[in-house]
Chain A
Amino acid sequence: MIPVLAIENSDRYVGGAYLVFLLLLLIYVAIMAAKLARIQRELGSLAELSERRGGRGSGHDVGQIHDREQAIETVRGATHREEAAR
């Protein structure tokens, strides 16, 4: 029977060491990704908060621009859906 993984013992230790390092690095990336997600969420809620404040205060112009932007987005969205359906 030919062993599937004819790896010598020392290879496994070398591999193991580099693997441990890689895993630590990836765990760090995962933690930073979670932090980024949290930052995104906070940014989103702050954007909402500032829009609400802006709308209440001086905001007629801001409100109008915002409405126009939304109109453009809906048209764009409808065009995409049309194209996708075709």
Chain B
Amino acid sequence: MTGFAALLRKDLRVEMRTLRSLPAMALFAVSAFVIFRFGLDREQLEGELAAGVLVPTLLFAALLAINRLFLAEREEGGFDLVRLAPVDRTVLFAAKASALVIYLVVLELVAVPIFALFFLDSAAGLLPFALVLLLADIGLAATGTLISTIATMSSARDLLAPLILLPLLIPLVIAAAGAGEHLLASGGPDYGRFGTWLALLGLYDLIFLLVGYATFDFLLDD
């Protein structure tokens, strides 16, 4: 348990001190919102358009974080230290994935209110949507950590991670956008298929956390 806490604390402390991922992610998201405003030529968004702008933007911002997840390890050769440490590899997976979830939540705490400010006329659906986003973040973190580890040891790491991740994350987009379409509707949130989408997200999270747990060992065995 302490190994997990130590690894997580290290990552968070590095991020807080150097602030190299979070500000970039937030800036990216806000710029993307502006681009969408002009790309779609709209000042108000609701329902499926709102979900269609918010969810992909968060996804692409997340890719920025995922690409840099092992940046510290690569730059300072920290991988070897971690590998030699008497920590179960799975703990590293849990720590990295948790760090990623935290980054995503912080990003959303900044980006979603700004999105609401720019485009939404009612913030009523945002609270249930936050639950949707949290579940999606967990799934994103599980797959993202797994694929980031695979990509980080390859020669084309910057390209490979997004390339592999985008198809893998489509079910998350389907669920989050599907829920968002109803929650961000103009007449107020509609809980039509809320349960279905939450179930799909939960299933995705469960499956890929399991896959990560079962296979992560083999990625760092050298």
Do A and B contact each other directly (Cβ–Cβ < 8 Å)? no
Interface residues of B (CB under 8 A from A): none
Interface residues of A (CB under 8 A from B): none
